[in-house]
Amino acid sequence: MSADPAPAYYRLDDLRIDVARQRVVRDGGHVLDVSGLSFRLLHVLLGQGTRVVGFDELIERVWAPAHVGEETVTQRVRLLRQALGDDGRQPRYLRSVRGQGYQLCSEPSVEAATPHAAPATPRSPAPRIAALLVLPLLGGLVWWHWPRPEVPAVSPLLERAAYYAGIGQAANNERAIALYRQRLQESPDDSTAQLGLSRAYSARLCLYSGNADDAAQAQALAEAVIARQPESAAAHAALAYAHDCHGDIKAALAGYTRAVQLDPAADGSRASAAYLQARQGRIAEALAANLDVRAPDTVRFLELQIASNLDLLGYAAAAEARYRRSFQLYPDNVFSNLAWPTFLYEHGRIDEAQVALTEALSRGTAHASLDLLAAELALLRRDADAAREAVQQARALRPHASLPETMAWRVGAEPSPDAATLRARADVLRSGLADGADPFEGVEAALLQTLAGDRDAALGTLDAAVTAGFRNAGYLRVSPLFADLRTAPAFDAALRRIDTALAGERAAVQASGRLPDDAVTASR
């Protein structure tokens, strides 16, 4: 006799919990920001009714195989309560039982799906997470909307796959891949499984230790669905994500734009397109698109993406408040952990950046970009050993990524190739700028040319990156990687070009009247 499938929906007091999409909705339609470990914790508690669940059991079921202590559980419960709007002193949803653990305040019930209800607004796949390895220290970071199926899941396998894909950890992404593959063995033309697997392959490349083969498989799966369903917004979004992670910004932007045309409610694709517009230097356009998101609560870390826009436009106080808040609210998310110390670093607040980075690294959210930031801070302290150690850690995490290897040569963690090899690699990176490649590829190319001793060529390439849309002057001003170029008049000229371009973007935003309230208040 087969086991009953896991419930797809729970009701807890005035909350409705959609397990497959990891959505918590309060009566009245307000979507609560419960995700990642917080959702896993809630899900485990829902399955136990009002039974007191001990610390050891929670650690085993929520955090395993990671080893954490009771303090970590307590902190996560606090974050869950904060997301639910619950008060630990007068709890409505979740109470603590001293010395034992936690229990729900009321018995949850299992709800059936409502087939005639309007589908929940789907979450789009992520914008280009691979750019975090090409661009580890810039204010315009990519913001992740966790992969979600954009068509309702009907198979228990798909529900579990979507659950694992949404957690945001390498091991769980692999579990999702295995489940999607299992479903496709049963039903080879299941579009939901194909798109879910496409996204999971892209996430493997963007977030973990994947390679170009993952992007190729992701692209093929999405194209197979488009061949059968050419008007599927979800399929075009998945294809855009594959292009995104592979570094083809032009094709990715076209795909996200097409997804929004087909489904104006595709907020995740809208935000992903906005990110790429910002990468191209179209900051005012990107901010407008981010503010046009119809259901902000469904697009994770949209606040960080807006913060990046505001920072580049010169609204630093409003950006800082958003970055700081996200850093406090999401201790297990790599993007929140990276964005705050990066902001401090680029604004020259080096000691504060080091403190924030140390805390971020202590949270256990490993990512090569955090280590590359640690390497730059170590270079500023003239601690060459620490810089080499940090870069080696980044290389171990992302052996196929370009920038960690370039940084390894720069800090002496690995022997640098000869000048001809450095120049050839720089030429490849620069050649893509004219075709719409990420402008930071020009910045990395300039670094390679500097290593090769070609100072004038590096300055010319840096200028080409600015022409292509690179707008992060703060990084260039503070990074020790470009110390050899700072005395050149051409370097100052590149910074002035960035400042002039951003002044134009700011004027366009002010003329449009499209500014968040916190930026308007801060600018008075």
Spatial distance between the Cα atoms of 216 and 498, rounded to a whole number of angstroms: 35
User: What pLDDT score does 20 carry?
Assistant: 73
For the beta carbon of residue 114, count every other beta carbon within 10 angstroms: 9
Structure tokens at 120: 């929940």
Burial of 306 (0-12, 13-18, 19+ CB in 10 A): buried
Burial of 438 (0-12, 13-18, 19+ CB in 10 A): buried
Domains and CATH numbers, the chain: 9-102 (1.10.10.10), 131-304 (1.25.40.10), 339-509 (1.25.40)
Q: Which strands make up the sheet holding 15-18, listed edge to edge? A: 30-32, 23-26, 15-18, 9-12, 109-111
Spatial distance between the Cα atoms of 295 and 84, rounded to a whole number of angstroms: 18
Specify whether the CB–CB gap between 111 and 9 falls below 8 A: yes
Spatial distance between the Cα atoms of 520 and 524, rounded to a whole number of angstroms: 7
DSSP-derived secondary structure for 34-82 = --HHHHHHHHHHHTTTT--EEHHHHIIIIITTS---HHHHHHHHHHHHH
Spatial distance between the Cα atoms of 441 and 96, rounded to a whole number of angstroms: 51
User: What pLDDT score does 434 carry?
Assistant: 82
DSSP state of 186: H
Question: Helix/strand/coil (H, E, C) string of 451-493?
Answer: HCCCHHHHHHHHHHHHHHCCCCHHHHHHCHHHHHHCCCHHHHH
Which among 517, 521, 518, 464 has a CA at the least distance from the CA of 494? 464
Which among 159, 116, 171 has a CA at the least distance from the CA of 21? 159
Q: Which helix (H) or strand (E) holds 101?
A: strand 101-104
Contacts for 63-66 with beta carbons within 8 Å, 24 or more apart?
Answer: 63/37, 65/171, 66/364
CA 481, chain centre distance (Å): 25
Residue 427 CB contacts under 8 Å (≥ 6 apart), including other chains: 445
CA 163, chain centre distance (Å): 18
Phi and psi at 87, nearest 5°, equal: -115, 115
Residue type, 247: G
> pLDDT tens string for the chain (524 positions)?
334 445 678 899 999 998 877 788 888 878 887 877 888 899 899 988 889 999 888 888 887 656 667 878 888 888 888 889 888 788 899 998 887 889 999 999 887 654 333 333 333 333 333 344 444 333 333 334 433 444 444 578 888 888 888 776 778 889 999 999 999 998 999 999 999 999 999 988 887 767 778 888 999 999 999 999 999 999 999 999 999 888 788 899 999 999 999 999 899 899 999 999 999 999 999 999 999 998 887 777 788 999 999 999 999 999 999 999 999 988 877 788 999 999 999 999 999 999 999 999 988 777 889 999 999 999 999 999 999 999 999 988 878 788 999 999 999 999 999 999 999 999 999 998 887 788 999 999 999 999 999 999 999 999 999 999 999 999 999 999 999 999 999 999 999 999 999 999 999 999 998 888 877 776 65
Question: Helix/strand/coil (H, E, C) string of 118-176?
Answer: CCCCCCCCCCCCCHHHHCCCCCCCCCCCCCCCCCCCCCHHHHHHHHHHCCCCHHHHHHH
Structure tokens at 210: 């994947």
Structure tokens at 380: 């500023």
Q: Calculate helix-pair angle for 267-279, 283-291, nearest 10 degrees.
A: 170
